[in-house]
Amino acid sequence: MIHPTAIVHPSANLAADVEIGPFCIVGENVKLGARTVLQANVVVNGWTEIGEDCTVYPFATIGAASQDRKYRGERAYTRVGSRTVLREYVSIQRATGSESVTSVGDDCLLLAYVHVAHNCVIGNGVTMSNLVQLAGHVEIGDYALLGGMSGAHQFTRVGRYAMVGGMSKINKDLPPFFLVEGNPAKPYGLNSVGLRRAGFTSDDRDEIKRFYKLLYDPKMNVSRAIEAMKASVATGCGREIIAFLEAPSQRGILK
């Protein structure tokens, strides 16, 4: 179902049951999965793949050239998983660097005016409220939630099931399961509601809380906190926090 006002390159790879609404533009190297809907005035170009059962609302742009001074037109990719919803004016840009990728996972919800810059990696089940702005090379873990008008500095990481309050500035890495808010963001405990809704056990939540207190103990630096965590870790969630803290970081851990 392609509206007569849409412009679709003949080389685009479209599943048979894709819907393309009025005034959409679909480029030569675009692939759209089964049952995906572009509602109206959507532009999808570059080397872009959108999975199955996605809905893209009006005026979204997917796969446009990176807003990076280093980008020179090289082949780089934009990928959006299945069952993801992109609301009005969302922009997701292709990566910088030959064969590099900007990716958004499955089952994500990106509300109006969200911007995902070049080389970002967004996990599965992520929710980003209106006007969230991600700079280049940001990593967002599965099921994280970013409140409206929050922003992330280049190369920052947000861990799995973390929550960022509205209008917050993320300039350092946020470990999984924690809650932060403010400009710059400060820690305010656990994403307790999200963890309960997701079915984390009481043992998981207790260890996450204990590790949170170790990390943000004013007498502890990150290295000492990791040592204390390793001496007592008992759950997969605890091991995940340790792995996040020990992973390479260009920005350091939010303290």
Contacts of 70 (CB under 8 A, 6+ apart): 96, 97
Q: What is the pLDDT of residue 128?
A: 98
How confident is the model at residue 167, as a pLDDT? Answer: 98
Amino acid residing at 34: A
What pLDDT sits at residue 114? 99
Q: What is the pLDDT of residue 110?
A: 99
The pLDDT value recorded for residue 8 is 98
Distances 91 to 13, 45, 66, 69, 72 between C-alpha atoms, Å? 21, 12, 11, 18, 20
pLDDT recorded at residue 61: 98
CATH of domain 7-137: 2.160.10.10
User: In the chain, which stretches have pLDDT less than 50?
Assistant: none
Per-residue pLDDT at 159: 98
pLDDT value at position 154?
98
Every domain of the chain with CATH number 2.160.10.10 lies at 7-137
Q: What pLDDT score was predicted for residue 197? A: 96
Non-local CB neighbours of 223 within 8 Å, separated by 6+ positions: none
pLDDT in tens, 127-170: 999 999 999 999 999 999 999 999 999 999 999 999 999 999 99
Check residue 203 and give its pLDDT: 97
Separation CA 165–CA 11 (nearest Å) = 43
